[in-house]
Amino acid sequence: MIDQTIDFFQKIYSDNSRVYIRPSGTEPVIRVLVEAKNYKRVHSLSNEITNKLFLEINKIIN
């Protein structure tokens, strides 16, 4: 499900921003990179993505 969530965000926002999500190679974390033309868009997307990933990860560990 996490892979599907990552694919969804990378596809849906690819036309007006850059979203890159990957697992860290050295730490037990997921790295999220968001680039857009304005700060508000970056902040909004970052929050949306991290909240969704957090929920998906909690489903797995709980």
pLDDT range class, residue 18, cuts 50, 70, 90: confident
Query: What pLDDT is stored for residue 14 in this prediction?
Result: 73
Q: How many CB atoms lie within 10 A of CB 3?
A: 9
Averaged over 48-53, what is the pLDDT? 91
Helix/strand/coil for 49: helix
Q: How many domains does the structure of the chain reveal?
A: 1
pTM comes to 0.76
Domain range spanning residue 26?
Answer: 2-61
Q: Report residue 31's pLDDT band, with 50, 70 and 90 as the boundaries.
A: very high
Distance CA 59, CA 16 (A): 30
Q: What is the DSSP letter of 14?
A: T
Q: What is the mean pLDDT of residues 24-53?
A: 91
Dihedral of the alpha carbons of 9, 11, 12, 14, in degrees to the nearest 10: 100
Domain of 24, CATH number, reads 3.30.310.50
